[in-house]
Structure 1
Amino acid sequence: MDNPFGAVGTANYVLLTTFRKDGTPVGTPLWAALDDGKLFVWTVTDSWKVKRIRRNPAVTLQPCNVSGTPRGAVVNGTARILDEADSDRVRRLIKRKYSIQGWLVVAGSQLRRGRKGTIGIEITAA
């Protein structure tokens, strides 16, 4: 498996940083799964990070802890919001990587929000 992300590609938590209109960085710790040389994250469909990515797909990534404290080098990337079918793939990747905890979180989210309440994001290393 190709890993152009280094430590970010294998980290349990990844600090995804998106950028506001004025260029202010906003970081969010997320689960991430590496597949086919791309990193996939999963989030709420109407979150601000999704809105920022739709406007500006440039992101940075760092390995971090659960509270978002950075633990390594910054990797630049380009994000793409996925459609419903690809978002299902991201859910499967998250469940596979995070085993029972991932399964519980994804299933709970689908019960609470429905399938369209969350969305996958594909990130390629820049």
Structure 2
Amino acid sequence: MRLEIFDGHQYLNLETFRKDGRGVKTPVWFVREGDALYVWTQADSGKVKRIRRSGRVRIAPSDARGNPLGEWLEARAQIQATPEAIRHVQGLMAAKYGLLFHGFRLLGKLRRVRYVTLRLTLPGEDAQPSP
């Protein structure tokens, strides 16, 4: 499995695609579980809108500024908005990022932000059920 290239990294660069095919790269926090990577993000973000149109994405380990630290991989993104999926990924993110993640969660609650999770899988590895 090629997802091992993300082990030990705090960020991944997520490239989503506009209607005209131009890529938009965004460094994001992520967690790995099994054959998938998960991202927790605002439901109304640009990346979610682009993924709704096309689940095609590219991913690479990166630093906080989005500078790639490994190879780019083609992947598929699925939006998960169920309370169970969101809670599950929040727990994984809290375990990995600790107080920083809890701080972002608190700010989101105060601003009444709605969140979703993104399940990122490599081609041929996306048949597994999501949490």
Task: State TM-score, norm by structure 2.
Answer: 0.86
Q: 1:102 aligns to what SS in structure 2?
A: helix
Q: Where does the alignment leave 5 or more consecutive residues of structure 1 unmatched?
A: none
Q: Return the match for 2:122 from 99, 122, 125.
A: 125
Deviation of 1:4 after TM superposition, in Å, equals: 3.7
**By how many angstroms is 1:9 displaced?**
4.4
What residue number does 2:63 align with?
65
2:3 is aligned, of 2, 5, 14, to: 5
CA contact (8 A) 2:32 2:38 kept: yes
Whole-Å Cα distance in 1 between the matches of residues 8 and 38 of structure 2?
Answer: 12
In structure 1, the residue matched to 2:28 is 30
Normalised by the length of structure 1, the TM-score is 0.89
Instruction: Tell me how far apart the structure 1 counterparts of residues 28 and 48 of structure 2 sit (CA, whole Å).
Output: 13
Deviation per CA, 1:78-125: give whole Å up to 9, x if none: 0000023212211111111111212222232223224xx111111111
Kept after mapping to 1: 8 A contact 2:81/2:115: no
Contact kept? 1:8, 1:61, Cα under 8 Å = no
Q: Is 2:101 aligned against 1:102? A: yes
> Counterparts of 1:29-48 in structure 2 under 5 Å?
29-48=27-46
Quick check: 1:5–1:75 contact (8 Å CA) kept in 2? no
Runs of 4+ in 1 over 4 A off after TM superposition: none
Question: What CA distance in whole angstroms lies between the structure 2 residues aligned with 1:9 and 1:108?
Answer: 28
Compared CA separation, residues 59 and 10, structure 1 to 2 (3 A): farther
Coordinate RMSD, CA, aligned: 1.4
Distance 1:125 1:10 in 2: 19
8 Å contact kept, 2:16–2:57: yes
Offset at 1:62? 0.7
Q: 2 CA distance for matches of 1:108 and 1:81?
A: 22
| Number of residue pairs matched by the alignment | 122
Secondary structure of 1:5's partner? helix
